[in-house]
Amino acid sequence: MGRLIGTVTKVVGAKSQVMSAGQPYRCDLRARIFRRKNKRLAVGDEVEFSVTGEPEAGTKDDEGVWVAEAREGEGVIEAVRPRRSALRRVRDFKRDQVICANLDQVFILVAVHDPPYKRAFIDRLIVACERDAIEAVVVFNKLDLCADDYAELVAEDAAVYHALGYRTYLSSASSGLGVDELGLAFTDKISAVVGPSGAGKSTLLNRLCPGEDLRTGAVSESDGRGRHTTTAAELMPIPAGGFVVDTPGLRGFGLWDLDPSEVASGYRELIDLSCKYRNCLHRSEPGCAAAAAVESGEVDEERYESYLHLVEELLQDDEGRQNQRRR
Ligand code: GDP
Ligand code: ZN
């Protein structure tokens, strides 16, 4: 039997599930792969595998109910292709705790109301995406819940991100606004959806992957415990093509260790400022160009404020840690 190329969707111990052309295969990993590099297979990895057992597609009736059970194929992973990106749990490159390999984009989903979004929250997640070189997309959801004048303000906020080169969507699961367009943006990519509890993540994921057993709704976001107690990520196939990663580990996304200089490089509009010092943190150092850029409108004021806030917070954390060590 031949070799196929597929995407790892689940890793459980030494076994993994690999999807190839819409068919699942249960695969073993050739032991020598990764051993030398001290790496581990992660969901999202693109692999070459040899088929040792063909899958049975099974059949569904008109209502999508299985009438003949589907059966996974079997295979052995022979090679893992180089990763385009790696979303890590912690910044510990030695331990290589990759939550998801080859993640293409992160949808930052916020609601205009119930709960209302905070720009600083969006900015923080964008910094995390920039650090791992993953595309950030900003979605303002529940547009049906706001009046026209507020909707205008939301559109202005969206324009700020759009001007920085991020794709943005205004959507409403209730009225259907932007829903098709947003759905298309997931096709043939590996995506993650992050955002505050109640913003509409499960609603969106359920529409993208109908019938999948979504963990997002099953796990309480506050403590991460629930029906599924493992923290391993899984990729859910999207019928139209592509995958969505579903993992409790993503809930802390953006709250991970960042250092202040990484924050500075996570704000695109601040990277090319002509400050006097190359490592300028833009906190009114001599020769800093940030204030003038805000004044001229080149840098959005609220973005700059959220930036300063985030940097201060991190510097304080650092100080706190150092004091603790001294004691
Ligand atoms: P999650 O916590 O981010 O997964 O949010 P859910 O998808 O569970 O949605 C929280 C609540 O908001 C549910 O009652 C949804 O029905 C509702 N909801 C989701 N999207 C919209 C929307 O666009 N408009 C309105 N009005 N309600 C929505
Ligand atoms: Zn500066």
pLDDT at 217 > cutoff 90: no
In the numeric block, the tokens 């917070």 are attached to 313
Q: Specify the pTM.
A: 0.89
pLDDT recorded at residue 231: 57
pLDDT, tens digit, 9 for 90 and up, residues 131-156: 889 999 999 999 999 999 999 999 99
Q: How far is the CA of 312 from the centre of ligand 2 (A)?
A: 14
Q: Which residues are CB-contacts of 255 (< 8 A; sequence separation ≥ 6)? A: 124
Question: What values do phi and psi take at 16, rounded to 5?
Answer: -140, 160
pLDDT, tens digit, 9 for 90 and up, residues 185-197: 999 999 999 998 8
Q: How far is the CA of 115 from the centre of ligand 1 (A)?
A: 10
- The CATH 1.10.40.50 portion of the chain extends over 260-326
Listed residue (164, 180, 87) closest to 119, CA to CA: 164
- Nearest-CA residue for ligand 1 atom 7 is 200
Looking only at the bridges linking them, the beta strands covering 46-53 and 3-12 are: antiparallel
Q: How far is the CA of 199 from the centre of ligand 1 (A)?
A: 6
pLDDT recorded at residue 253: 58
Q: In CATH, what class is 4-80? A: mainly beta
pLDDT at 183 > cutoff 60: yes
Across the range 21-31, mean pLDDT stands at 90
> Distances in Å between the alpha carbon of 106 and those of 120, 131, 164?
17, 13, 16
- Nearest-CA residue for ligand 1 atom 17 is 200
pLDDT, tens digit, 9 for 90 and up, residues 85-137: 988 776 555 566 788 999 999 999 999 999 999 999 999 999 989 988 999 99
pLDDT recorded at residue 131: 87
- The CATH 2.40.50.140 portion of the chain extends over 4-80
- Nearest-CA residue for ligand 1 atom 19 is 200
Q: Which residues are CB-contacts of 121 (< 8 A; sequence separation ≥ 6)? A: 110, 196
In the structure, ligand 2 is a single-atom ion and the residues with CB under 5 Å from it are 275, 280, 282, 288, 290
Round to whole Å and give the CA distance between 196 and 200: 9
pLDDT at 33 > cutoff 80: no
- Angle between the N-to-C axes of helices 119-131 and 301-326, in degrees from 0 to 180, rounded to the nearest 10: 70
Tell me what percent of the residues of the chain surpass a pLDDT of 90: 64
- Nearest-CA residue for ligand 1 atom 18 is 200
Cβ < 6 A, ligand 1 pocket: 141-142, 144-145, 172-174, 195, 197-203, 216
The atom of ligand 1 lying closest to the CA of 109 is 3
pLDDT recorded at residue 62: 86
- Nearest-CA residue for ligand 1 atom 27 is 142
Q: What is the residue-wise DSSP string for 215-252?
A: STTTB-TTTS-BS------EEEEPTTS-EEEE-GGGGG
Is there a contact between 290 and 282 (Cβ–Cβ < 8 Å)? yes
Q: What CATH number belongs to 86-246?
A: 3.40.50.300
Round to whole Å and give the CA distance between 237 and 241: 7
Across the range 257-269, mean pLDDT stands at 88
In 3-state terms the chain splits into helix, strand, coil percentages (rounded to 5) of 30, 25, 45
> Does residue 163 come out as left (phi exceeding 0), alpha (psi in the -120 to 50 range) or beta?
alpha
Arch. (CATH architecture) of 260-326: Orthogonal Bundle (1.10)
From 174, 175, 177, 203, the mutation candidate for ligand 1 (largest count of ligand atoms within 8 A of CB) is 203
Is there a contact between 136 and 130 (Cβ–Cβ < 8 Å)? yes
* Tokens of residue 242, six digits: 């592509």
Q: What is the residue-wise DSSP string for 274-322?
A: --SSTT---SS-TT--HHHHHHTTSS-HHHHHHHHHHHHHHHHHHHHHH
**What's the angle, vertex CA 135, arms to CA 133 and CA 139, rounded to 5?**
145
- Nearest-CA residue for ligand 1 atom 26 is 142
